Amino acid sequence: MSVSVFPGVDAAGLDVDVTADVAALYADGITARRGAFTPQWADRLGEDVAKAFAEARSRPGGAVGRGPNRYYVEIHPEQIRGFVELVDHPWVRSLCTAALGPDYRIVELGFDVPLEGAVNQPWHRDFPMPEETRRDRRLTSLAFNVTTVDTEEDMGPFEIAPGTQWDDDEEFEHGMFPPRSHYDRYAERAVRKYPRRGDISARTALTIHRGTTNDSAKSRPVLVLGVDGPEATNGDRHDTAVSRPFWEALPERVRRHLDCPVVEELTPVTQKHTIEGLVMGDA
């Protein structure tokens, strides 16, 4: 479908020309910026994710299952050394503004980790279709993904069915899980993604997708940055927070978009963004 940037946004005034990326989001549901960071930057991110993952698994409620041998962990921004570089990257800022408007809000920071033995997830979207999308064919949120490893075929690549962000069927369980009678449609459209360290992708989490079987002995950690437009309420599902010293050290341009509590003392996140339909995998 043909689409322009968010109403009132001057695409020519953005730091990066992202009009093709916005068009890809509306047509396919996903776009990417190859080589946005160096592999060394991604390696540091991988170190931070590994540390946070070990801490989360050491306590009750620290990690939530997204299928056998597959976990999701929400974290606080200051657990990632490259947080400011990520959210203030010109492509990320420009795409958020172009797709969601100048008042976009950063509401989620976490990571998915498919371990050895992770199996195919059922085809799904991450939340039910918002009314604005159903009525106006307008996207109201984005999910940015940043791999910490070079993805290989046997590592359980992310698989997405382009164009299915508009699928609207009352047969979807909880508005998120299509019936198995639809699976042939997604299999025919399915595209596997093989990002490398330093790449960033952006997608609407409404596009039908799944993690696939990890046949390797390696994990495939992927950082998730969730961003809402003015109408979206995905932030209600998350508990990201920042300490006051961290907040005060942030650039004003970042503070303006970071929608989370400022606290005197951080406490570890107890995960609440569970997706029950993913717990058993594609059983």
**What confidence tens digit (pLDDT) does each residue in 105-162 have?**
999 999 999 999 999 999 999 999 999 999 999 999 999 999 999 999 999 999 999 9
Per-residue model confidence (pLDDT) at position 237: 78
Taking only the tens place, the pLDDT of each residue in 68-96 is 999 999 999 999 999 999 999 999 999 99
Q: Is the pLDDT of residue 47 over 90?
A: yes
User: Which residue, chain included where needed, has tokens 């002995």?
Assistant: 217
Taking only the tens place, the pLDDT of each residue in 30-43 is 999 999 999 999 99
Stretch 55-69: mean pLDDT, rounded? 91
DSSP-derived pairing of the beta strands 64-65 and 70-74? antiparallel
Q: Is the pLDDT of residue 278 over 80?
A: no
Question: By the 8 A CB rule, do 71 and 112 touch?
Answer: yes
| DSSP string of 206-269, one letter each residue | TS-EEE--B-SSS---EEEEEEE-TT--GGGG----EEHHHHHHS-HHHHTTB-S-EESS--PP
* Residues 72, 112: Cα–Cα separation, whole Å: 5
Q: Is the pLDDT of residue 164 over 80?
A: yes
Confidence of residue 5 (pLDDT cuts 50, 70, 90): confident
120 phi, psi to nearest 5 deg? -55, 130
Per-residue model confidence (pLDDT) at position 238: 81
Name which of 73, 213, 71 is nearest 155 in CA terms. Answer: 213
Per-residue model confidence (pLDDT) at position 236: 78
Sheet strand arrangement including 158-160: 191-192, 158-160, 209-211
Question: By the 8 A CB rule, do 44 and 82 touch?
Answer: yes
Taking only the tens place, the pLDDT of each residue in 234-275 is 877 788 899 999 999 999 999 999 999 999 999 988 876 556
Per-residue model confidence (pLDDT) at position 272: 66
The two tokens of residue 193 are 């993604």
Question: By the 8 A CB rule, do 178 and 171 touch?
Answer: yes
Per-residue model confidence (pLDDT) at position 274: 57
Taking only the tens place, the pLDDT of each residue in 169-184 is 899 999 999 999 999 9
Question: By the 8 A CB rule, do 52 and 148 touch?
Answer: no
Per-residue model confidence (pLDDT) at position 190: 97
Helices (H), 28-67: 39-57
Taking only the tens place, the pLDDT of each residue in 191-244 is 999 999 999 999 999 999 999 999 999 999 999 999 999 998 887 778 889 999
Phi-psi sector, 198: left (phi>0), alpha (psi -120 to 50), beta: left
CATH class of 18-267: mainly beta
Confidence of residue 281 (pLDDT cuts 50, 70, 90): low
From the CB of residue 187, how many other CB atoms can be counted at a distance below 10 Å? 11
Stretch 37-65: mean pLDDT, rounded? 95
Per-residue model confidence (pLDDT) at position 1: 43
